[in-house]
Amino acid sequence: MRKKTKMIHGGITGDKATGAVSVPIYQVSTYEQDAVGQHRGFEYSRTGNPTRQALEAVTAELENGKAGFAFGSGMAAITSVMMLFNSGDHVVMTDDVYGGSYRLVTSVLNRFELDHSFVDSSQPEKVEAAIQGNTKALFIETPTNPLLKITDLRKMKEIADKHNLRLIVDNTFATPYWQRPLDVGADIVLHSATKYIGGHSDVVAGLVAVNDEQLAEDLHFIQNSAGAVLGPQDSWLLMRGIKTLALRMEAIEANTKKIVEFLENHEKVSTIYYPGRKNHPGHDTAASQATGFGGMISFDVGSEELAEKVISKVKYFTLAESLGAVESLISVPAKMTHASIPRDRRLELGIADGLIRVSVGIEDAEDLIEDLEQALED
Ligand SMILES: *Cc1c(COP(=O)(O)O)cnc(C)c1O
């Protein structure tokens, strides 16, 4: 099956008992047993639920993995993956990972003595230099937020193999439609499915896929033990989202390219961050490991005042955190997602005061461009 077909026919589809074309929402916590200890594959919905199982099966297929897991949020997925490690272990992480991942390792997992180092993973030699005797994993996000930094996954795989580390990839921005890290040898791929996979700003969820039976068993043990599972209704919503993932990603990327072209020709816009631009750092790597560049753009309008003015004037871009939805979203990272980082450190990372981040939706590109044009006018 090719990838667009998988989104429709992958995993478990429909309902054999009734012929229903859509997987039913099994809104149930427990299951009748035929005799003591004799069940029909399901005992209790934390351990397994048919709707969640169908989502987990299609997740595995989309990522070319052996097993998939659905969690109550992206952070629940990441937390559960981190539970694979022991106190005293060390993880090397991309330095501009999602803020919630940063908070998890620096303010929660540190209390359990799971150690970490943050490095600019777009520079493989820095990753290698950060490896210690107790390092057990590389946790890589590519592309990142908001500067769309690219890490070379094949290089990360080489480093992971050399030092016997697990390679974990947060694939939220690229989606399995564009990028499948398990194909280049990653051990674990994870998503905030709240974003593109759900795609409609109506569900919070996390997904994980792995390619190894033992890892799958270990992760299922943690999923069942920690219990951060996704409910049946939300599992169904994600499956519905997956059915149009290909269409949405194509439409979003086509719009994004047009908007980038508009921004490139606008005098008030200085730096533009988009991995699809030839001069974007890591463009060649992005092109070699993903089949598309996605729908996230960041651009600098020079000042906080202008950034705030643009935000207040746009009509079709909703001022909101999050990303990856059918509706276009806009934000000012310095004031929103990255407000907790001290200004000096923020500027060091390249997140300027006038930086605007856009998550492009599937509206008419012409409307989106006209909207940005009027918002950028004096
Ligand atoms: C949103 C996000 C997360 C966290 O996911 P939630 O569903 O909000 O818990 C993790 N990684 C990335 C890259 C994200 O954008």
> Do 86 and 213 share a structural domain?
yes
Mean pLDDT confidence for 13-34: 96
Is the domain of 153 the same as that of 277? no
Ligand 1 atom closest to 101 (CA): 10
| pLDDT computed for residue 222 by the predictor | 98
- Higher pLDDT: 340 or 335? It is 335
**Any atom of ligand 1 within 6 Å of the Cβ of 170:** yes
- Per the prediction, the chain carries an average pLDDT of 97
What is the pLDDT, as a whole number, of residue 360? 98
Last residue within a domain, chosen from 208, 223, 243: 243
Counting from 1 in the atom list of ligand 1, the atom nearest the Cα of 204 is 7
Q: pLDDT class for 273, splitting at 50, 70, 90?
A: very high
Question: Which of 243, 259, 279 is the C-terminal boundary of a domain?
Answer: 243
Give the distance (Å) from ligand 1 centre to CA of residue 17.
36
Q: What is the share, in percent, of the chain residues with pLDDT greater than 90?
A: 96
Instruction: Indicate which residues carry an active-site annotation.
Output: 46, 98, 170, 195
Q: Is the CB–ligand 1 distance for residue 100 below 6 Å?
A: yes
Instruction: Indicate yes or no: pTM above 0.85.
Output: yes
Cβ of residue 85 lying under 6 Å from some atom of ligand 1 = no
- Residue located nearest, by CA, to atom 7 of ligand 1: 74
Answer whether 289 contacts ligand 1 (Cβ < 6 A).
no
Indicate whether residue 45 lines ligand 1 (CB < 6 A).
no
User: Which domain range does residue 295 map to?
Assistant: 246-375
Whether residues 228 and 311 fall in one domain:
no
- One-letter-per-residue 3-state SS of the chain: CCHHHHHHHCCCCCCCCCCCCCCCCCCCCECCCCECCECCCCCECCCCCHHHHHHHHHHHHHCCCCEEEEECCHHHHHHHHHCCCCCCCEEEEECCCCHHHHHHHHHHHHHHCCEEEEECCCCHHHHHHCCCCCEEEEEEECCCCCCCCCCCHHHHHHHHHHCCCEEEEECCCCHHHHCCHHHHCCCEEEEECCCCCCCCCCCCCEEEEECCHHHHHHHHHHHHHHCCECCHHHHHHHHHHHHCHHHHHHHHHHHHHHHHHHHHCCCCCCCEECCCCCCCCCHHHHHHHCCCCCCEEEEECCCHHHHHHHHHHCCCCEECCCCCCCCCEEECCCCCCCCCCCHHHHHHHCCCCCEEEEECCCCCHHHHHHHHHHHHCC
- Whether 182 and 106 share a structural domain: yes
Q: What confidence tier does 345 reach under pLDDT thresholds 50, 70, 90?
A: confident
Protein residue with its CA nearest to atom 12 in ligand 1: 98
CA of 204 to the centre of ligand 1 (A): 9
Note whether 174 and 26 are same-domain residues.
yes
Q: Are residues 188 and 149 in the same domain?
A: yes
* Whether 212 and 259 share a structural domain: no
Confidence at 55, pLDDT banded by 50, 70, 90: very high
Measured from the CB, is residue 99 less than 6 Å from ligand 1? no
Q: Are residues 233 and 131 in the same domain?
A: yes
Q: What is the pLDDT of residues 88-133, one digit of tens each?
A: 999 999 998 998 999 999 999 999 999 999 999 999 999 999 999 9
| Domain endpoint, select from 217, 243, 269 | 243
- Kindly report the CATH number assigned to the domain that includes residue 74: 3.40.640.10
How many folded domains does the chain comprise? Answer: 2
Region 255-277 average pLDDT: 97
Q: Which atom belonging to ligand 1 lies closest to the Cα atom of 75?
A: 9
Average pLDDT over residues 298-315: 96
Q: Are residues 103 and 30 in the same domain?
A: yes
CATH number of the CATH domain containing 341: 3.90.1150.10
179 and 251: one domain? no
**Are 103 and 229 in a shared domain?**
yes
Tell me: do 339 and 355 sit in the same domain: yes
